């Protein structure tokens, strides 16, 4: 399965990607997670990306296209991958097409998770992420068994710096201006599958799996 999870901040891309990783045994490629790791490690790329991420703006196409192209060439992507948070601009989508063409691969599906703005804000303000394995939780909708600790690896949970309401609103604006046009792009390519992302996590997972199993 070679697919993209598309959707605004908080739509559930990371949540669903983690479940698809288990089901299909293919890697999740989250540009957000990769960039946050680079910021933490204070690599030259992380230092360049930090200001944009803190404000809710996009990191340059050049940086993210570079990290995804490199990642897709790794052995564990040979039987498939789940792109989460990439592409986010038309230039990134074109670059992805070029990379896949070079690798002799085609996308199977682009799954778009649809969620209303008020629900997105509630999800993001209540989100917690694991410092160890990056797994996501929600204080109400998907709480960990032990408050403040990851169910998977036991590491501490934290709130992302960009999950403050003002930054969330900026990320939404950026999504509508720069990323939403990708729905039309992939619709024209015959790859777009639209899913109601407002349902509980397990129901969204079922909808996504039903679509993917039919491909």
Please identify every residue annotated as catalytic: 13, 88, 127, 160, 171
CB distance 161 to 54 below 8 Å: yes
Nearest distance from C-beta of residue 140 to ligand AP5, angstroms: 8
Record the tokens describing residue 104, joined without a space.
Answer: 């002799």
Nearest distance from C-beta of residue 177 to ligand AP5, angstroms: 13
Interface mask (CB under 6 A) for ligand AP5, residues 32-71, using x and -? Answer: x--x----------------xx--xxxx----x-------
Record the tokens describing residue 106, joined without a space.
Answer: 């085609």
Nearest distance from C-beta of residue 80 to ligand AP5, angstroms: 19
Residues 13-32, interacting with Mg ion (CB under 5 A): 14
Record the tokens describing residue 59, joined without a space.
Answer: 């990191």
Instruction: Examine residue 10 and tell whether it contacts Mg ion (CB under 5 A).
Output: no
Instruction: Examine residue 12 and tell whether it contacts ligand AP5 (CB under 6 A).
Output: yes
Per partner kind, with CB cut-offs from 5 to 8 A, the member of Mg ion, ligand AP5, none near residue 18 is none
C-alpha angle 153-159-163 in degrees, rounded to nearest 5: 135
CA-based nearest residue to 7, from 127, 158, 119: 119
Instruction: Examine residue 209 and tell whether it contacts ligand AP5 (CB under 6 A).
Output: no
Q: Name the packing angle between helices 61-72 and 44-55 (round to 10°).
A: 120
CB distance 143 to 137 below 8 Å: yes
**Which segment (71-79, 136-144, 150-158, 207-215) binds ligand AP5 by CB under 6 A?**
136-144
Write out the DSSP string of 140-201: TTB--SSTTB-TTT-PBEE--TT-SHHHHHHHHHHIIIIITHHHHHHHHTT-EEEEETTS-H
Nearest distance from C-beta of residue 134 to Mg ion, angstroms: 9
Instruction: Examine residue 144 and tell whether it contacts ligand AP5 (CB under 6 A).
Output: no
Per partner kind, with CB cut-offs from 5 to 8 A, the member of Mg ion, ligand AP5, none near residue 211 is none
Task: Give dist(CA 94, CA 111) in Å, integer.
Answer: 18
Which CB, 106 or 122, lies closer to Mg ion?
122
Task: Give dist(CA 15, CA 119) in Å, integer.
Answer: 15
Residues near ligand AP5 (CB under 6 A) are: 7, 9-15, 31-32, 35, 52-53, 56-59, 64, 85-86, 88, 92, 123-124, 127, 136-138, 141-142, 162, 171, 197, 200-201, 204
């Amino acid at each position: 399965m070679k697919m993209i999870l598309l959707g605004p901040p908080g739509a559930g891309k990371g949540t669903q990607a983690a479940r698809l990783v288990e089901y299909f045994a293919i890697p999740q490629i989250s540009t957000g997670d990769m960039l946050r790791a680079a910021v933490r490690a204070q690599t030259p790329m992380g230092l360049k990306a930090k200001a944009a991420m803190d404000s809710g703006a996009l990191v340059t196409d050049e940086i993210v296209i570079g990290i995804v192209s490199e990642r897709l060439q790794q052995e564990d992507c040979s039987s498939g991958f789940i792109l989460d948070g990439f592409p986010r601009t038309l230039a990134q989508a074109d670059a992805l097409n070029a990379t896949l063409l070079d690798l002799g691969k085609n996308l199977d599906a682009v799954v778009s998770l649809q969620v209303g703005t008020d629900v997105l804000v509630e999800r993001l303000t209540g989100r917690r992420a694991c410092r160890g394995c990056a797994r996501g939780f929600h204080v109400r909708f998907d709480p960990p068994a032990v408050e403040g600790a990851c169910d998977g690896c036991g590491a501490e949970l934290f709130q992302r710096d960009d999950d403050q309401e003002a930054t969330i609103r900026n990320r939404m604006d950026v999504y509508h201006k720069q990323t939403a046009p990708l729905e039309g792009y992939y619709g024209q390519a015959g790859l777009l599958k639209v899913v109601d992302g407002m349902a509980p996590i397990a129901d969204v997972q079922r909808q996504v799996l039903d679509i993917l199993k039919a491909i």
